[in-house]
Structure 1
Amino acid sequence: MNKAIKLIIHGKVQGVGYRRWFEQHALELELKGYVKNLDSGEVEAVIVGTEYQLHTIIERSYIGPSRAEVSKIIQIEFDQKQDFIAFTMLR
């Protein structure tokens, strides 16, 4: 059964290739959803997948690409109302 989680990723995560890195890992794990920059300097990701897929991407998200410095990740579980058909990187 799929679950949906919103991640707010804090730290040095903009201007370091974080969204593209996240998208590559999400596609590799066959997740659905999106990743985007927030005006506040964080990155937001909405991910839909199995418990294993979500756990794996969250673990990887703390590492990120080489130039990123993740300080914390806020996880918000929610009921999936939108049906995502793929994973995309938004502006």
Structure 2
Amino acid sequence: MGQYCIRATVSGRVQGVGYRHAVRRQALESELTGYASNLANGDVEVVLCGNRERAERVADWLWQGPPPARVTQVELEEMAWCEYTAFTTD
């Protein structure tokens, strides 16, 4: 697996709609590690690490999310490689 990590801050209606768990499913299907975490301001932070192409594909999916979600913004930034053993949600 490649050493690539990307961080996303996802805004909109993304808390209380199963967004983090849907991201986890996408990440696990793509064999990525990292996490999805609710932020105090109502956004969700997502870190995806692994194969660059797969991480970018899941990052594109973040705009969609699960059916109840309404994503209004996704801010992406590459970040230094971090060694995660799994994909977790808080």
- Quote the Cα distance in structure 1 between the aligned partners of 2:43 and 2:22: 15
3-state SS of paired residue (2:46): strand
Task: Find the counterpart in structure 2 of residue 59 from structure 1.
Answer: 60
The TM-score with structure 1 as length reference comes to: 0.92
Gaps of 5+ in 1: none
What is the Cα deviation at residue 79 of structure 1?
Answer: 1.1
- Does 2:83 correspond to 1:83? yes
CA-atom RMSD, angstroms? 1.0
The number of equivalent residue pairs is 89
- Does 2:36 correspond to 1:32? no
- Runs (4+) of structure 1 moved beyond 2 Å? none
**AA at the equivalent of 1:11:** G
* Overall identity of the aligned pairs, in %: 35
Gaps of 5+ in 2: none
User: Could you give the per-residue CA deviations for residues 18-70 of structure 1, whole angstroms, max 9, x where no partner exists?
Assistant: 01111111111110111110001000011102121112101211110000001
**AA at the equivalent of 1:83:** E
